[in-house]
Amino acid sequence: DTGVSQNPRHKITKRGQNVTFRCDPISEHNRLYWYRQTLGQGPEFLTYFQNEAQLEKSRLLSDRFSAERPKGSFSTLEIQRTEQGDSAMYLCASSPRVRGVRGSYNEQFFGPGTRLTVL
């Protein structure tokens, strides 16, 4: 296993277009997280999945954003009607199963990110 992978690595789009990013976590990691990072800022939490269930969504995740993890493996993050303010690095991370512990924070392994530029 080579770690968390994200595709594409870079995406340039025009305002108003829809974009979709993909994250493949480390195999058998049951938790998957999406973050957004703008220039000069730390990552901001967007949403989190445990298996296929989306358990937490940040207020940052407007109605134009949707994330799925249909089979509890890879995840997609879609942004509809992109705006220039959506330009950021979108990071994905996964963390391993912790048997018998609900809601604990586990060590996260980050992917390389997808850099989105909205023109």
Positions that interact with another protein (CB under 8 A) = 33, 37, 41-45, 48, 55-56, 89, 91, 93, 103-110, 112-113, 115
Closest distance to another protein from the beta carbon of 22 (Å): 17
Distance of alpha carbon 55 from alpha carbon 18, whole angstroms: 24
In the complex with another protein, the residue whose CB is nearer, 58 or 73, is 58
Do 57 and 47 form a contact (C-beta atoms < 8 A)? yes
Contacts of 31 (CB under 8 A, 6+ apart): 48, 49, 50, 94, 95, 96, 97, 106
Q: Which of 66, 79, 69, 64 is nearest to 19 (CA)?
A: 79
Nearer to another protein, 57 or 80 (CB): 57
Q: How far is the CB of 71 from another protein (least distance, A)?
A: 22
Q: How far is the CB of 64 from another protein (least distance, A)?
A: 22
Pick the closer one to another protein by CB: 9 or 81: 9
